[in-house]
Structures are given as structure tokens and as C-alpha cells.
Homo-oligomer: A and B are copies of this chain.
């Protein structure tokens, strides 16, 4: 069974377009010095990835501890059946924008799926955006 894939690089604009249409992704960050990762809902607003969480969550604590903390944000949509899809990775800095203008509206725009009291809006400023696509016919017509 030869159905392996050659990943094709996406340009940053295409990658951000895919991220824009996704409803959730995963944020990787340091929690007490140890790398961890959490699934979260997001919305792309003015080029920033906005997430809505709680001050007491692991991500909330990491962002409160240090201004502009380094994070990675990843989203993908991959079908295990066909082994096709895409993955996008953003390296950037995360900041608490809960006290910024329109923070409440910002948070609601995220449309979190969680039935939890959320009180912290975090914005991730992208520094580097990369992405790859897995297609059945690499280089061929799609």
C-alpha cells in the first residue's frame, strides 16, 4: 500500500486563510518551564489570533506571568482515511488584551464552544507563518 504523501509548503497568506476558516487550533506554550499544548477556539482578527480563556487556565497563567510570551499556534484538517489535508503553524507572542478596548466583544467573537465562565482574551501576534498541504496527487491536478 503506497499512499504516502509528500508535504507541499503553503505560502503564509494561504496558510493564514486556512487558519481563518478553522474554528479551533492548539496553542503550545511553556507552563512552569515545561512545554504543553491546549486545544482552543480562535478567531483571526486584524492579523492576530484571538482566543478566549480563563485567567486560571494553564494558558492564562502563562500569559499573565510574562508579557509577550512566546507561543506556537497550530491548526490542521487532515482526513485519516485519505491522508489528505493541511496543517498550519504560527510562531508568535501572546499577550493579555482583556483590558484593551472592546475586550468583551473580542472575547465573544471567538465563539468558544466551552460552557465555562471565560474572562481572559489573549491575542497572539504572528511572527512566522508556515503551512503544508498533503495532497493525493503531489504536483498533479487537484
Contacts and interface: CB of A to CB of B under 8 A. Distances in A.
B83 A36 contact: no
Interface of A: 3-7, 23-24, 26, 28-30, 34-39, 70-72, 74, 76, 78, 80, 83, 87, 89, 91, 112-116, 134, 138
Given A24-B80, A28-B28, A78-B24, A4 B39 contact: no
Given A28-B37, A36-B89, A113-B134, 15 more contacts: A5-B113, A5-B115, A6-B115, A26-B26, A26-B74, A28-B28, A28-B35, A30-B35, A34-B70, A35-B35, A35-B71, A37-B37, A37-B72, A39-B78, A115-B138
Nearest to A23: B80
